[in-house]
């Protein structure tokens, strides 16, 4: 990154160099008319050059860079769901009394259109997730989260996450739940108030998890149909997931 003082000195140096070259041209050819003809011509083209280089070219490069970053982010999100995300969706689903309703609205299939994904995304953002962690084994959940913690820490080291606030929030919610469970010496005979607190943490995590999962599924449908096909057969909202094409 150039410092302002450096830029100023550099600009002055170029200006002096240009003046010196024009002076040399005049000293040799003694034709001030010729000098001004080309100077005005160059100045006339300058606005168009600025438009092409600064606006058009910069925007094209910026758009390409954003596409590259988004592609890398999608790979990170895919790794997350392969390693732990899908398992969390499946493990935490019994916490929800309305799990059958969740299945009906979130069972992604091969024939889903953009409208179907938008409806699922709208449902996931608006549904009041009521959770009850008494329906699952908290010890198994803690073991799962702690076993995958090194992987989650490696994800946080990815600088591209700065471009994806939603996924970053999901990672922090996952870490928070892991820390809550790890901080308790025993998960047996917890008071009702503490179970309600853990249920709230699960609710926060699951709402973020579902929205991100829908976005990732739509990305696979548009860019990687073969991966999307496998996802529709194995995803955690299916009643009987199976990799076998039937």
Residue 220: per-residue pLDDT: 92
pLDDT of residue 162: 66
Q: Give the residue-averaged pLDDT of 22-50.
A: 75
Residue 33's pLDDT band, with cuts at 50, 70 and 90, is confident
Q: Which residue has the tokens 């002076």?
A: 23
What's the whole-number average pLDDT of the chain? Answer: 85
Break the chain into its structural domains and give their ranges.
Answer: 96-234
Three-state helix/strand/coil letters over the chain: CCCHHHHHHHHHHHHHHHHHHHHHHHHHHCCHHHHHHHHHHHHHHHHHHHHHHHHHHHHHHHHHHHHHHHHHHHHHHHHHHHHHHHHHHHHHHHHCCCHHHHHHHHCCCCCCCHHHHHHHHHHHHHCCCCCCHHHCCHHHHHHHHHHCHHHHHHHHCCHHHHHCHHHHHHHHHHHHHHHHHHHCCCCCCCCHHHHHHHHHHHHHHHHHHHHHHHHHHHHHHHHCHHHHHHHHHHCCCCCCCCCCCC
Tell which wins on pLDDT, 220 or 46: 220
Q: What is the pLDDT of residue 163?
A: 67
pLDDT digits (tens, 9 = 90+) for 78-130: 999 999 999 999 999 999 888 888 888 898 988 999 999 999 999 888 877 78
pLDDT tens, residue by residue, 152-185: 988 888 877 766 788 889 999 999 999 999 999 8
Higher model confidence: residue 13 or residue 41? 13
Q: What pLDDT was estimated at residue 34?
A: 72
- Report whether pLDDT(243) > 80: yes
């Amino acid at each position: 990154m150039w410092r302002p003082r450096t830029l100023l000195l550099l600009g002055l140096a170029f200006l002096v160099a240009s003046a010196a070259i024009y002076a040399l041209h005049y000293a040799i050819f003694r034709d001030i008319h010729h000098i001004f003809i080309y100077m005005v011509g160059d100045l006339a083209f300058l606005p168009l050059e600025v438009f092409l280089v600064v606006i058009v070219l910069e925007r094209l490069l910026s758009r390409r860079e954003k596409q590259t970053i988004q592609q890398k982010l999608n790979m990170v999100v895919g790794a997350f769901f392969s390693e732990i995300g899908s398992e969390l969706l499946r493990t935490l689903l019994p916490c929800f009394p309305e799990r059958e309703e969740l299945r009906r609205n979130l069972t992604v299939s091969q024939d889903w259109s953009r409208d179907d994904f938008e409806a699922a995304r709208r449902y996931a953002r608006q549904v009041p997730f009521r959770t009850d962690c008494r329906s699952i084994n908290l010890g198994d959940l803690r073991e799962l989260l702690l076993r995958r913690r090194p992987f989650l820490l490696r994800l946080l080291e990815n600088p591209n996450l700065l471009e994806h606030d939603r996924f970053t929030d999901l990672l922090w919610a996952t870490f928070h739940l892991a820390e809550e469970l790890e901080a308790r010496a025993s998960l047996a005979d917890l008071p009702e108030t503490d179970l309600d607190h853990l249920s709230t943490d699960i609710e926060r995590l699951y709402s973020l998890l579902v929205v991100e999962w829908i976005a990732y599924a739509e990305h696979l449908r548009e860019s990687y149909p073969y991966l999307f096909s496998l996802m529709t057969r194995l995803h955690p909202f299916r009643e009987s997931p199976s990799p076998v094409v039937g």
